[in-house]
Structures are given as structure tokens and as C-alpha cells.
Amino acid sequence: MKPITESEALFKSARQLMPGGVSSPVRAFKAVGGTPRFICRAAGAWLEDVDGNRYVDYVLSYGPLILGHAHPAIVNALTGTIRRGTAYGTPTRREITLVRLITTLLPGMDMVRLVNSGTEAVMSALRLARAWTGRDRIIKCTGNYHGHADSLLVQAGSGVATLGLPDSPGVPESTVKNTLVVPYNDLAAAEAAFGAHRKRIAAMIVEPVAGNMGVVLPQKGYLQGLRDITRAHDALLIFDEVMTGFRVHPSGAQGLYQVTPDLTTLGKVIGGGLPIGAYGGRRDIMALVAPSGPMYQAGTLSGNPLAVEAGIVTLEKLQEPGIWSRIARQTARLARGWKSRAEAYRIPLEVAVAGTMFGCFYTDQPVIDWNTAKRADTTRYAGVFHALLERGVHLAPSQYEACFVSSAHDDDVVSHTLDAVDAALADEAG
């Protein structure tokens, strides 16, 4: 590994001009210490930094790049598209293609509105749920992340149905007073919250596989239980599949677990690395969205031709026989290899795999929710993180982010990774 002098110099400049030197907080390496690598190019599974070092990438822009970096099919499609203009502010044929793919692949999607980010998709879906039900309150799970919209920046308040307190200054209490928080994987807590706020809850929103507190799988019956409770209380069930959509299964978590939500939010993979988001669901509910109905929601660049094109190529490639399952197989191989090497060095490790994403917790206790996730050893995570970075493997700089795999992560890349993992865990075991 070459010295990272150029990254260090750039980080210093960036911190003068941008809060923390970054455009999004996790990138600043706060949880693991050290200097983020400034990346100047990427191809397939590999990142290259400004000092000329190469890294196998398990961040993949936090999920979107399921075909790897600069996939030739995406580059070609984008090059063709950009020559015809970058935005028209009119409807286009290709939006229909993308939305038809989404509605064909995801059981719960009858109609879709395209937006520009996952955050925007979630904000809009909540507005829609409130418009549909005429109710104000929302239930979310501790440790689930739904973007940075005010009303969802709440995770504090363990215990059942405590009215939320904001997680960030600048979020008014009046906004989050309608947000109730319950533990993930805890049906009884959700039931109690619905019981305590009868006829006041518009929706429960959940990451069907949690991926923003590390990867935490839903326990058997949890999602179906939420489906039953929401139905019994005439509230909507919203699956936030911004991360899980096309990552945990080709038909999303809703296809994998065969539980159909009323509304679904998407982002990440459906833009193939360009900014996009989407929300959709039942036709009768979506009919409320302007201009077909009164619930207002709009966007200057929504349905952007470049983002739509990258999304179409990505989803079409994933339909080719064997592609998605090959990525899932490499993911499983990585997870198995990681676990067996940890066992060999007697390092306690819990690994969760969900299709093409996985997560590692350095703990000997099962992880089922935020309380158990936060018992994991983050110091050890940081140690392994840096030992891997030194060996050319780039994980997310936080225990509480998922690892993502792409179609470019072939046998050689995975073998290289597992060799690095072996050496890193040997260091860590001392």
C-alpha cells in the first residue's frame, strides 16, 4: 500500500469547505478513525484512490452498484442517452419501461411515482399514508433508517410506544410527536402501540430486512404479523425497500417473505448508481397522488432520463438467467469464509446474509434488534476495518452498515478478500 498523502491533503482542504469534509456523514470515517480514501476511479469490484492504491469495494455506493462500477452496459446506455439531452421536464417512453419492470418484479407495486432519492420516496409515502387514512401517527422501529426526513429521525425511546424524541437538533418536537418507536422483531410491542393509539395510526413503516443497524433478518412470522396487525387496525403497512429492493431477492423482501405491503419505497439499485427513488403500491391508494388525486408531490428532475436508463439496464441485467443467484452465491461464500476464519481465531462473530448483502457483528450473542446490535464490539470492527483497508479491501466505515456484493465480485475477488480477512483476523486475535 502506498502512503495516502494525497487523500490526507484533500481531506484537510475538504474539511475547510464542507462540514466534516464530506457530502454524507458516514464517509468521514468517524466511527473507525483515520482518513477516508479519496477515490478517483472505479471499475468492476475495484476502487482506485488518488494515491494509486486499489481496493475491493464492499460499499458499492452503499448498495446501488449491484453490477459493479462502470459496467459497460450502463456506460454505453448512459453515453447514448446523454447525447440526446439530460432532462426534458416531460414524460418519456423510458419511464414506462422502468416502472413496468418494477411493477412486474415486485408483488406489491401496482403503480409507481419516481422521485430523486430514498429519503424523498419515504417522505412522500408517509404523506400518502396520512392522506389515505386521515390519521397522523406513524410507527417505526428502533435502529431502522428511512432517510433523513424530519418525522423519521427518531430512534430513541425503548419501551412500547413511547412518543418519539428527535435524534437531531433542528427536528421540531411537534414533528416527531406523531412518530412512535418500537423495537424491531417485536410483534407484541407493535401490537401494544396500535392498541394504545387506536384509530390514530396511519402506517407502520419497516425495513423488511434491516440493513442500517448492520444486517438484521426478520424473525419467522414478524413481517406477516405486521401485515395482520396493520390490517386489523385499518392502517397501512409500508416496506422501505430502498436497500432491500432487488438486493435480498429479485422480487424484493416482499417476494422473498411473501408478505405484500400496501406501499413500498425504493431507491439505490433502481438507479444503478444515479440518483433516484420511487414509491408505489396499491392502485387505489396511488390514485390519491397528484395530478390524479389531491396529495401533492412533485420534482423538477424526477424521472430523470439518465437515472431511469441506468436503472433499466440494471434491472434488465438482473433478469438474465443466473446473474442474481451468482451474486448471492458469492455473498454466501464470503459470509461462510469470514465466519470460519473468525472461528479459527476464536473471535466471536455473528454473520447475517440476505441475498446479495451481508453484515458482520463482533459479538457472541444473536442480533435481533437495535439493543442486541449495539452490544457488538465496535472497537474490534474498527481494527478489522483498518487491517482490511491496508490489505486492499474497503468495507463501510461503520459496524452498522451492510456489506454489498456485485456481479463483478468473481471467484478471484472473493478469494483475495478471504485471504485478506484471514490476515486481518489473525492480527486482531493478536
Ligand X SMILES: *Cc1c(COP(=O)(O)O)cnc(C)c1O
Binds ligand X (CB under 6 A): choice among 98, 102, 237, 242: 242
Count of beta carbons in the 10 Å neighbourhood of residue 202: 24
Tell me the closest approach of the beta carbon of residue 390 to ligand X, in angstroms: 28
Least separation in angstroms between residue 290's CB and ligand X is 22
Positive/negative CA dihedral, 57, 61, 64, 67: negative
Q: Rounded to an integer, what distance in angstroms lies between the CA atom of residue 199 and that of residue 359?
A: 37
Cα–Cα distance for residue pair 417/413, rounded to 1 Å: 6
Q: What string of DSSP letters covers 76-133?
A: HHHHHHHHT-S--SS--HHHHHHHHHHHHH-TT-SEEEEESSHHHHHHHHHHHHHHHH
| 118 makes contact with ligand X (CB under 6 A) | yes
Q: Which is nearer to ligand X, 211 or 218 (CB)?
A: 211
Among 7, 212, 398, 407, interactor with ligand X by CB under 6 A: 212
CB 373 within 8 A of CB 361: yes
Smaller CB distance to ligand X: residue 145 or 194?
Answer: 145
* Nearer residue to ligand X within complex by CB, 25 or 33: 25
What is the phi/psi pair of residue 56, to 5°? -70, 130
Choose between 46 and 358: whose C-beta lies nearer to ligand X.
358
- Which range, of 31-39, 204-212, 248-256, 319-327, touches ligand X by CB under 6 A? 204-212
Minimum CB separation of residue 270 from ligand X in Å reads 11
Identify which range of 113-121, 131-139, 192-200, 312-320 contacts ligand X by CB under 6 A. 113-121
Told to judge if 140 belongs to the known catalytic residues of this protein, a careful annotator would answer no
Size of the site for ligand X (CB under 6 A): 15
Closer to ligand X by CB, 337 or 359: give it.
359
Q: Is 280 helix (H, G, I), strand (E, B) or coil?
A: strand
- Parallel/antiparallel/unpaired status of strands 179-182 and 393-394: unpaired
Partners of 42 in beta bridges: 47
Does the active-site annotation cover 345? no
Task: Name which position in 49, 51, 191, 240 contacts ligand X (CB under 6 A).
Answer: 240
Contact characters 284-313, ligand X, x per CB under 6 A: ------------------------------
Query: Positive or negative CA dihedral for 363, 369, 375, 377?
Result: positive
Nearest to 266 by CA among 24, 89, 90, 99: 99
Beta bridge partners, 295, equal 289
Nearest distance in Å: CB 199, ligand X: 27
Dihedral, CA of residue 419, residue 422, residue 424 and residue 426, to nearest 10: -140
Q: What is the CA radius of gyration of the chain?
A: 21
Q: Are 102 and 280 in contact (CB under 8 A)?
A: yes
* Other residues' Cβ atoms within 10 Å of the Cβ of residue 232: 10
Applying CB under 6 A, the span of 114-122, 181-189, 300-308, 347-355 interacting with ligand X comes to 114-122
Report in angstroms how near the CB of residue 62 gets to ligand X at its nearest.
Answer: 6
User: By Cβ distance, which residue is nearest to ligand X?
Assistant: 118
Judged by CB under 6 A, the chain residues 129 through 168 that form the site for ligand X are: 145-147
Question: Of 267, 280, 337, 359, which lies in the binding site for ligand X, with binding defined by CB under 6 A?
Answer: 267
Active site residue 268: yes
Range in contact with ligand X (rule: CB under 6 A) among 3-11, 115-123, 180-188, 311-319: 115-123
How many angstroms separate the CA atoms of 86 and 74, rounded?
15
The residue annotated as part of the active site, out of 55, 58, 145, 184, is 145
Least Å distance between CB 63 and ligand X? 7
Selecting among 49, 186, 240, 262, the annotated active-site residue is 240
**384 vs 388: CA distance, rounded Å:** 6
Give residue for cell 441506468: 310
Kindly state the smallest distance separating residue 37's Cβ from ligand X, in Å. Answer: 21
Binder of ligand X out of 7, 53, 117, 330 (CB under 6 A): 117
Annotated catalytic residues are 145, 240, 268
Binding site for ligand X (CB under 6 A): 117-119, 122, 145-147, 207, 211-212, 240, 242-243, 267, 277
